[in-house]
Structure 1
Amino acid sequence: MSRTLPRLLATGALALAGALVFTGCASAPSDAPSGDAGSTAAAGDVLPCIVSDEGGFDDQSFNQLGLEGTTLAAEALGTEHIDVQSQSESDYAPNIASLVDQGCTTIVTMGYLLAAATEEAALANPDVHFIMIDDNTIEADNVKGVVWDTSQAGFLVGYASASYSKSGKVGTYGGAQIPPVTLYMDGFARGVEYHNEQKGTDVQVIGWDADAQTGQFTGNFSDINAAKVLSQGILEQGVDVIVPVGGPIYQGAAQAIRESASPVALVGVDTDMFLSDPEYSDIWFTSIARDMPKSISEVIQASATGDFSNESYVGTLENGGVLMSPFHDFESLVDPALQGELDDIEAGIIDGTITIETPSAP
């Protein structure tokens, strides 16, 4: 089977809940949680921890995948973990400080918006390892940036979406105009452009101009209603494929599609959303996915075994860090020749004969 279409393991919220050892909510707890986490750190010198962005660990996407990676690492190391959830940006710094105070040896910080708080904490605590997700700009010996070139998988999905579209219009929008978000959108838009060049079509991208780097955003990763309203505006312009980039905001798009009189296909991000949220299985076209749990787990385990490095990890099509999910229920609705074309495009991206123009490349 092509690497373009392997299945990702589902990461349902209920399954995760059963695996959690500690759960934080809003501001971090002031005392060590039950289970003697402090003594665990003292005895084994290994206590992996994680702090979410405002999307929360139940987003069925970005934060949930980070938590799964932390949980997998803790299980492999035979230790416990601590997780703490942020409700807003004002929680980031105090949540990280709380994890430092509880003796965490490795702290995973979820998302570009936590970069400033992560850098401040890392400089103040040089003996703690920090794993900065979706940002690799911090220059510190104890910070490892973990990023994924999602423009590569986004390019494949953009090409496939242009091939599938009957209206000649596809759409995308983001939670915030930051590089980890616009990277998805650039890849998607460039894939549509490539389809137009190769096939002589004129499929339009609504919601994002990759050349001007301007488009539509909800302003955060938690306002589902804002995402629904924004989605409705895009759908009214005639798109039949839409890509919301920003964790749980896809739920607003799904609600807008349900209420729309027109058939519209939904594209997920971060993981295979057909498996992660089967409630919308009939409208998931595909997903721009990345293997976050595996990557995060491996980096945590390396940290625990003395093999920590501040060299960035970059997930690509070549190393399997990013990929395009299967079409699932849409398999019979796409051009039979499409998969072969995607295989060729993937090979071209890997060998460099196809390049993707984006200022957000990691």
Structure 2
Amino acid sequence: MTISPRKAVFSGLAIVGATAMLAGCGTAPSATSTKSAAKSSYVPCMVSDAGGFDDKSFNQLGLDGLKEGASAVGATSKQVESADQTVYASNITSLVNQKCNLIITVGFLLADATKAAAKANPSVDFATIDDASTVADNVRPITFNTSEAAFLGGYAAASYSKSGVVGTFGGAQIPTVTIFMDGFADGVAYYNEQKKKDVKLVGWNVKTQKGVFTGGFDAGTAAKQSAQTLLDQDADVIMPVGGPIYQSAAQAVKAKNASTGDGITLVGVDSDTYETDPSNKSLFLTSVEKGIAPATKAVVEDSAKGKFTKTPYVGTLKNDGVGLAPFHDYDSKIDSGLKDELDKIKAGIIDGSITVDSPASLTK
């Protein structure tokens, strides 16, 4: 039987290792550097989005990949952190002026600034994480079919839920956020279909593409209130999508657990948040991961070796570019058959017998 929800992906229960090779301020910010023993004149660089490099999510993973790539080729890397979206263009320009050979921009929101800079500087290589809108000989998109992994995350959340209600909410309503939410919703729906259950999803309607959003990627009151909205609807597994916003969701969940003892859990995104944020690890059932660090590292290495290409890198279940993290502390608490079910779904997605799709896909 062929299932056609939206896009989802699951890398078994192993940590993602995207081994498939890819082939501030308005004034110029100061950039920090990383050096390896072998020296090279090649300079790979990166601009974060407003979430910052300490988001324990995709900016941080991108920076990890930049540093790893620079070390591998004996280069000095530079990075500039964006205080907000008004400085994206000036931050890119500052790195062009510092003679960067490769400039990697992190996030969909930097698309316009990256496109303009790439057009104005055809001799500089650019790469875009989570954006495939710019088509140019000197721009390489790094994208991920995260709906595949989120599908499995939604299935796992529905299986684990005790209240029969799970939820998701996002930061900004952009494709790189809603692709997670689409996959999560369809995974819940698939669980209900297979198990003849009626687990309810709150926070996102995949058909109308409407749901709960904070309006940005900052941790704070809006994110905490969004999480509380889902908690008030009895959601006991919640997936916040939008970098640091999960940190405020964790505060709301901890408060609820302390007062009720309900054992509400979170599903992380981008990284294995159990590993990247030990202070909140007890809350994470699992995480929907992107192999941002290894993908970025490979782009740096290709560019340094003169093998830069505009051909997009697409992380999928098949190439281990996306996946579901281990259940860690919840491994003994999940249904005994869940892992086998997830393995079968993963295999079905890879062989095409389960078709997963999302209107937010960056890979179409």
TM over 0.5: yes
Distance 1:226 1:28 in 2: 30
User: Structure 2 vs 1, CA of residues 80 and 344 (structure 1 numbering), >3 Å: closer, same or farther?
Assistant: same
- Secondary structure of the residue that 1:229 maps to in structure 2? helix
The aligned amino acid for 2:134 is: I
Distance 1:278 1:320 in 2: 24
- Secondary structure of the residue that 1:242 maps to in structure 2? strand
* Structure 1 position 247, deviation (Å): 0.6
1:105 alignment counterpart = 101
User: Structure 2 vs 1, CA of residues 283 and 120 (structure 1 numbering), >3 Å: closer, same or farther?
Assistant: same
2:28 alignment counterpart = 29
2:61 alignment counterpart = 65
1:175 alignment counterpart = 171
Distance 1:35 1:297 in 2: 14
Distance 2:207 2:273 in 1: 28
Structure 1: give runs of 5+ residues left out of the alignment.
10-24
What is the identity percentage for the equivalent residue pairs of Structure 1 and Structure 2? 50
In the TM superposition, structure 1's runs of 4+ consecutive aligned residues that sit over 6 Å from their partners are 31-36
TM-score (norm 2): 0.90
Q: Deviations over 1:47-84 (max 9, x none)?
A: 00000000000111110000000000110111111100
1:294 alignment counterpart = 294
TM-score (norm 1): 0.91
* Structure 1 position 283, deviation (Å): 1.0
Structure 2: give runs of 5+ residues left out of the alignment.
1-9, 18-23
The aligned amino acid for 1:6 is: A
* Structure 1 position 357, deviation (Å): 3.1
The aligned amino acid for 1:315 is: G
User: Structure 2 vs 1, CA of residues 258 and 32 (structure 1 numbering), >3 Å: closer, same or farther?
Assistant: closer
- Counting matched residue pairs gives 341
Q: Deviations over 1:271-311 (max 9, x none)?
A: 11111101112111000001111000001110111111101
User: Structure 2 vs 1, CA of residues 357 and 79 (structure 1 numbering), >3 Å: closer, same or farther?
Assistant: closer
2:276 alignment counterpart = 276
2:194 alignment counterpart = 198
- 148-157 vs 351-360, greater mean Cα deviation: 351-360
1:4 to 5, 12, 17: 12
1:84 alignment counterpart = 80
**More relative contact order in 1 or in 2 (CA 8 Å, sep 6+)?**
2
Is the CA contact 2:219–2:247 (under 8 Å) kept in the aligned structure 1? Answer: no
2:132 alignment counterpart = 136
Q: Deviations over 1:133-160 (max 9, x none)?
A: 1011211100001000000110011001
The aligned amino acid for 1:283 is: L
- Secondary structure of the residue that 1:354 maps to in structure 2? coil
User: Structure 2 vs 1, CA of residues 94 and 196 (structure 1 numbering), >3 Å: closer, same or farther?
Assistant: same
* Structure 1 position 360, deviation (Å): 1.1
User: Structure 2 vs 1, CA of residues 124 and 193 (structure 1 numbering), >3 Å: closer, same or farther?
Assistant: same
Distance 1:263 1:126 in 2: 53
Is the CA contact 1:32–1:102 (under 8 Å) kept in the aligned structure 2? Answer: no
* Structure 1 position 270, deviation (Å): 0.5
1:340 alignment counterpart = 340
2:355 alignment counterpart = 355
1:158 alignment counterpart = 154
